Amino acid sequence: MKIILTQLMIIFTFLLAFSSGPPDGRTGAPGELTCYDGCHNSYTLNYGTGNVSFSGVPELYVPGETYLITILVAHPSMQRWGFELSVKTNQQAQAGNITVTQSNYTQTGFLSGITYLKHRSAGTFNGQAGGAEWEFEWTAPESETGNITFYASGNCANGNGMNSNDYIYTTSISSNEDINFCYSEGDINVDGNLNIQDIILVMNYILGIMEFSEDQSCAGDVNEDGLINIMDIIIIIDWIMSGAQF
């Protein structure tokens, strides 16, 4: 009898821990497991009419920019929800930074240099029909990182407190670096300020006194008409006079 009670306590503790968030490394990314493995495996992975998806992932990301991303888990007949996600480079390293924006519902974990965002117990929305969604902020990595991928595993549960008859779904979506983005419009010398020195550099370029690098040409063509001329100088002067910050 004591053995049975002990086993039941272990199972209860195990399930309670998972309702508070799955173990790290369960997003279905290459080399990772999901919550289907050894737990919610009544049905095969990605079986049925449910799904997990992302919203707000940019097709092209700008290095250093912050994006508000939403992850959604849905199933027509389930009523408790969970997830775990990660963002990785092609080399399976951490890509950018994840910031919690719903601390009552989500949390982060860390494993082998990777940040994992996942639900808290309150974020399972027990009894809520149809699906659930969670938001977070993602700050893109530094330039020359290249293609990155968001990975997620979603749990569509029946809310019975057990790990049976629940559905696990996986998804991934990639975003590539915007290599054509100009990081310093008008700031020709890239000192972090717009001032007379930038105007002088543009004038010297127009007069043929100096040549611009590719980055300087991008920064100098502030009206994006493919030319660097007096119109760009006028715009830079206007930005300086208005106290614009870049």
Instruction: Give the model's pLDDT for residue 183.
Output: 64
Please state the φ and ψ torsions of residue 37, each to the nearest 5 degrees.
-75, 110
User: Which two three-digit tokens encode residue 14?
Assistant: 């195990």
pLDDT in tens, 37-81: 888 899 999 999 999 999 999 999 999 999 999 999 999 999 999
pLDDT of residue 15: 42
The Cα–Cα gap between 149 and 104 comes to 26
Highest mean pLDDT among 59-63, 104-108, 180-184, 238-242: 104-108
Is the whole-model pTM more than 0.85? no
The 3-class SS string of 10-72 reads HHHHHHHHHHCCCCCCCCCCCCCCCCCCCCCCCCCCCCCCCEEEEECCCCEECCCCEEEEEEE
**pLDDT of amino acid 245:** 56
H or E element that contains 240: helix 230-242
- Residue 2's pLDDT is 46
pLDDT in tens, 193-234: 889 999 999 999 999 999 988 788 888 988 888 899 999 999
Q: What is the pLDDT of residue 144?
A: 87
Label the pairing between strands 80-89 and 148-157: antiparallel
Task: Give the mean model confidence (pLDDT) for residues 86-99.
Answer: 98
Helix 196-206 with 230-242: angle, nearest 10 deg = 180
Residues 6 or more apart whose CB falls under 8 angstroms from that of 219 comprise 182, 183, 184, 185, 186, 187, 188, 190
pLDDT confidence of residue 18: 55
Higher-confidence residue of 52 and 241: namely: 52
What's the pLDDT score for residue 218? 83
Mean pLDDT of 7-20: 47
Mean pLDDT, rounded, for 184-200: 87
* Selected residue with higher pLDDT from 41 and 152: 152
> What pLDDT, in 10s, does the model give residues 110-143?
999 999 999 999 999 999 999 999 999 999 998 8
